[in-house]
């Protein structure tokens, strides 16, 4: 039996008041979002945000048992399973958007999409889109660790309400977000107005693509540019100081057995500090690239891509987004692994 094409899932997050529902309402009116199912999470016994989603119908499901990052994860799995059954019955659903409560930590939600076998079979994470309120974003990042994590793990960051801030305020927030997450393109949306193509199809785990969108998904070059371009010191009292985002590259092919064991140990011992890992690997004995994606204690099954992109230098690139874990611990461990493998007889 041929596996059906996995349905892409977009995770729409952002702190309270960032404008997620406004953006979602605008997006759902666009032809590119036709046949989209929406799962809306609202913390508390009575949902409020779902009443603002203008397309509320049989394809909009309210998850109101609690925050998606904890008690309602079972509801999310059940909702996705129910949608999959409807698709098998002929219902046209081409995409799922999960709108989280503003208090949600995105990492456990991403884990949910990786952990359940049926969900893993029928869906693929397309991307994490995080909204940041330009008027209150600086203060929110200063005081709310969840907002910092939402921005740090994003594949796309959307600045909202920039008309309510000053140019200097927007510029300062822009710079802060760029330093926090160099690999995520920064977009500006007034009144929820942003083109869907800027937010969609930013994932990689579609192994049927002949030429994977490595740069669009990983953007290792952005991390290299950030490392050379940011020399100022951040306030150590900021939450940002607890998070590091960087990319490690390796010229020689890596040994999969050793690397996978090292990553497993990292996840087991320091998983709480690993907000996200993304990587494209050139492995010993393989002529095709391997893509890996991990969040805290859990890794998506490795995906062997169809081919290296044209012109790619075929170096392994691993992006790490860490909290309360020094870069040197990770880098030294990986470098030692590579050096040890190089000493082994061919």
pLDDT in tens, 239-249: 788 999 999 99
Strand partners, 189: 160
State yes or no: pLDDT of 38 exceeds 50. Answer: yes
Per-residue model confidence (pLDDT) at position 340: 81
Could you tell me if 216 and 183 are in contact, meaning their C-beta atoms sit under 8 angstroms apart? no
pLDDT for the residue 49 = 44
Task: Give the lowest-confidence range in 19-33, 61-75, 136-150, 259-273.
Answer: 61-75
Non-local CB neighbours of 28 within 8 Å, separated by 6+ positions: 36, 38, 53, 54, 55
Cα 117 to the chain's mean position, in Å? 20
Which of the following CATH numbers is that of domain 7-198: 3.40.50.300, 1.10.340.30, 3.90.1530.10, 1.10.287.180? Answer: 3.40.50.300
- Find the DSSP H helices in 189-292: 214-217, 220-229, 256-270
Contacts of 9 (CB under 8 A, 6+ apart): 80, 95, 96, 97, 98, 113, 123, 124, 125, 126
Catalogue the E-assigned strands of the chain.
7-14, 36-41, 60-63, 95-99, 123-133, 156-160, 186-189, 243-250, 274-281, 290-295, 298-299, 303-304, 316-323
Which pLDDT does position 149 carry in this prediction? 92
**pLDDT at position 52 over 60:** no
- Global pTM reads 0.86
Q: Is the pLDDT of residue 48 over 60?
A: no
What mean pLDDT is predicted for residues 99-107?
80
Q: Residues 232-343: name the CATH superfamily.
A: CobW-like, C-terminal domain (3.30.1220.10)
Q: How does the average pLDDT of the chain come out, rounded?
A: 82
Domain ranges of the chain: 7-198, 232-343
What three-state secondary structure class fits 287? coil
Region of poorest pLDDT, from 46-55, 148-157, 276-285: 46-55
pLDDT of residue 63: 60
> pLDDT grade, residue 182 (50/70/90)?
very high
| Exposure class string for 265-279: b at 16+ Cβ within 10 A, else e | ebbeebbebbbbbbb
């Amino acid at each position: 039996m041929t596996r059906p094409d996995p349905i892409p899932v977009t995770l729409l997050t952002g702190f309270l008041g960032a404008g997620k529902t406004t953006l979602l309402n605008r997006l759902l009116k666009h032809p590119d979002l036709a046949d989209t199912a929406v799962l809306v999470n609202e913390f508390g016994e009575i949902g409020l945000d779902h009443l603002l989603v203008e397309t509320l119908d049989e394809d909009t499901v309210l998850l109101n048992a609690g925050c998606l990052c904890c008690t309602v994860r079972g509801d999310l799995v059940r909702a996705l399973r129910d949608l999959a059954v409807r698709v098998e019955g002929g219902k046209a659903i081409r995409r799922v958007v999960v709108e989280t409560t503003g208090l949600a930590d995105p990492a456990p939600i991403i884990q949910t999409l990786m952990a359940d076998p049926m969900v893993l079979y029928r869906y693929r994470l397309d991307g994490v889109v995080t909204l940041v309120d330009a008027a209150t974003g600086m203060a929110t990042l200063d005081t709310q660790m969840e907002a910092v994590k939402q921005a740090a793990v994003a594949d796309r960051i959307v600045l909202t309400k920039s008309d309510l801030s000053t140019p200097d305020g927007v510029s300062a927030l822009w710079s802060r977000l760029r330093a926090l997450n160099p690999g995520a393109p920064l977009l500006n949306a007034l009144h929820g107005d942003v083109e869907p193509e800027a937010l969609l199809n930013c994932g990689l785990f579609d192994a049927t693509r002949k030429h994977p969108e490595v740069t669009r998904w990983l953007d290792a070059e952005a991390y290299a540019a950030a490392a050379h371009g940011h020399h100022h010191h951040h306030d150590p009292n900021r939450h940002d100081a607890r998070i590091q985002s960087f990319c490690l590259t390796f010229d020689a092919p890596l040994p999969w057995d050793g690397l996978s064991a090292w990553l497993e140990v990292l996840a087991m011992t320091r998983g709480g500090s690993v907000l996200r890992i993304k990587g494209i690997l050139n492995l010993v004995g393989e002529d095709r690239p391997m893509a890996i994606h991990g969040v805290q204690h859990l890794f998506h099954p490795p995906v062997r891509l169809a081919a290296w992109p044209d012109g790619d230098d075929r170096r392994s690139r691993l992006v790490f987004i860490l909290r309360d874990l020094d870069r040197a611990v990770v880098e030294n461990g990986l470098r030692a692994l590579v050096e040890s493998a190089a000493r082994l007889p061919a």
